[in-house]
Structure formats: structure tokens, C-alpha cells
Amino acid sequence: MRIPVIAGNWKMNKTISEALDLVNDLKSRLTNVDDVTIIVCPTFLCIKSVADALGNSNIHVGAQNMFWETSGAYTAEVSGEMLLEAGAEYVIIGHSERRQYFGETNETVNKKVKKALALGLKPIVCVGEMLEDREAGNTEKVVDDHLTNGLAGVSADEMKNVIVAYEPVWAIGTGKTATPEQAQEVHAFIRNRIAELWNEETAEAVVIQYGGSMKPGNVKELLAQKDIDGGLIGGAALKADSFEELAKFNK
């Protein structure tokens, strides 16, 4: 049984005080949700304050990126060790915006994933095709490339701590959601590839989230699909009322 995971990727939004307003509101709205893993991923700057405010509540904290070295002359980078001490339990790795604007590659994704796992931080690894890939019929090829190279060398045991987020780039922030059928098709492909690359048991255990314009109006349909186990949500995670509806999708 996979427990659904609803995660908010706040991207470059919210000052510390705005972040605290949102999580304090979410904390009271979501106290009774015990059948969904809820995660918020603020900017690095807000992680400590948000984690402190959430304390032992049922809302977990993730970062949006990390570097694979522990410390040193890497101006502006943040290490996994720093994230853990600040209170993060999860870390998004290889988001398409990192790949598009900041030169993230499968190789850098792989180094970050391995370091996160070694530290006990749970990586949320993003995979997904661009519109031109889909139009050229290359969706599975691109997703497979992200999956096999981004997760190369990760053991079956470690895979149980990995979340995969399928995010078609053409659906991110565009209001265009993949249809539940389109998303399910790729999720099933990912789960089959996990079974081939590791084993059946691992494939059954790994949570595969969908991301890309997920909102209260489409969450139920998407999560009703057999292989869609949660959501990585941008825009709709920035407001307490819509994130509450998302986290309570099964109520």
C-alpha cells in the first residue's frame, strides 16, 4: 500500500513572514489528515523557520535543491547536511526549471540523489518531457533517460526512500494539465521501468507523483489513476485554501 504524497513546491515565492503565515494556517487546517503524507518545500531561506513552526505536526519540510558536497568553496550552494540540520526531510532534485535555467543534467541529478540518500534525506526526483519531445513521440525515451541516468547506481533498498515526480514540462505553470489517461500512461511506464531496473517489489513500493497544473479541480481524477500516488504542486500550493483541498483530495 502506497501512502499518497502531496507536496507543495513553493519555488521562488514567499518571504519568511509570508511562509510562516501560510504554514501556521496549514497546520491548523490539516491537523486531522493522517492518511496522506504532506510536504511543503519553501526556499532555502525559510526552511528553518518553517520547520520550527511546524514542529512535530503532520506537515513535513523539503528543500527545492541541494549540492552534493558537504562544505567548501562553492559560492551560493547549500549542502544536504545543512538542510538536514535546518529541519528538511525531503529534497526536490532535478526539477525541470533547474534543468532549463540552471544547467542541471542527469549527471548532476545523480550526484545529488546519491548524496541525499547517503544522508537520509528523501529525494523527490523530477522527470518529464518537453512539448517538442511529446509531439515527436519521444516522451518515453526522455522519461527513461531521466530515470535511468538520474537514478543510476541507486540500490533497491535506497529506492524505497525515493519519490519520483512525473512532470510534463508543457503542463507546468501553464494551466494545461495532462489528462488522467495521459498521465497514467507515463506513470505505468515509469513503474514498469522501475520493475525492470530494480525489481517488482521496489516498483510497487515507490511513490510516483504527478506534477503540472494540479489543482483542486483535477486532483481527484488524477489520483484515482492506478499509478498516480500523489502530486507535486506549484501554483496551487501557495494558498492555504487550495493546498488544503489538495491534501484532503480523498475526503
Rounded-to-integer distance, Cα 211 and Cα 33, Å: 21
What character string, x for contact with ligand PGA (CB under 6 A) and - otherwise, covers 168-207?
----xx----------------------------------
The DSSP-derived string for 52-65 is HHHTTSSEEEEES-
Rounded-to-integer distance, Cα 155 and Cα 172, Å: 30
Specify the stretch interacting with ligand PGA by CB under 6 A; choose among 13-21, 64-72, 166-174, 198-206. 166-174
Rounded-to-integer distance, Cα 15 and Cα 39, Å: 18
Q: Does residue 242 bind ligand PGA (CB under 6 A)?
A: no
C-alpha cell of residue 39: 510536504
Please tell me the count of residues contacting ligand PGA according to CB under 6 A.
13
Residue nearest to ligand PGA (CB): 234
3-state helix, strand, coil in the chain (%, to 5): 45, 15, 40
Q: Does residue 232 bind ligand PGA (CB under 6 A)?
A: yes
Crossing angle of helices 139-150 and 106-119, in 10° steps, is 40
CA distances from 32 to 3, 18, 36, 170, 246 (A): 16, 23, 10, 34, 14
Q: Does residue 245 bind ligand PGA (CB under 6 A)?
A: no
Select from 14, 108, 235, 248 the one that contacts ligand PGA (CB under 6 A).
235
Q: Does residue 39 bind ligand PGA (CB under 6 A)?
A: no
Do the strands 207-211 and 230-233 form a parallel or antiparallel pair, or are they unpaired?
parallel
Q: E-assigned strands of 42-193?
A: 59-63, 90-93, 122-127, 163-166
Residues tagged active-site: 95, 167
CB of 147 to ligand PGA, least distance (A): 17
Rounded-to-integer distance, Cα 120 and Cα 123, Å: 9
Q: Does residue 9 bind ligand PGA (CB under 6 A)?
A: yes
CB of 6 to ligand PGA, least distance (A): 12
Q: E-assigned strands of the chain?
A: 5-9, 37-41, 59-63, 90-93, 122-127, 163-166, 207-211, 230-233
CB of 119 to ligand PGA, least distance (A): 23
CB of 243 to ligand PGA, least distance (A): 11
Specify the stretch interacting with ligand PGA by CB under 6 A; choose among 105-113, 146-154, 156-164, 211-219. 211-219
Specify the stretch interacting with ligand PGA by CB under 6 A; choose among 59-67, 79-87, 115-123, 231-239. 231-239
For residue 212, which amino acid is it? G
Select from 133, 158, 167, 245 the one that contacts ligand PGA (CB under 6 A).
167
- Identity of the residue, 9 or 110, whose beta carbon is nearer to ligand PGA in the bound complex: 9
CB of 173 to ligand PGA, least distance (A): 4
Q: Does residue 133 bind ligand PGA (CB under 6 A)?
A: no
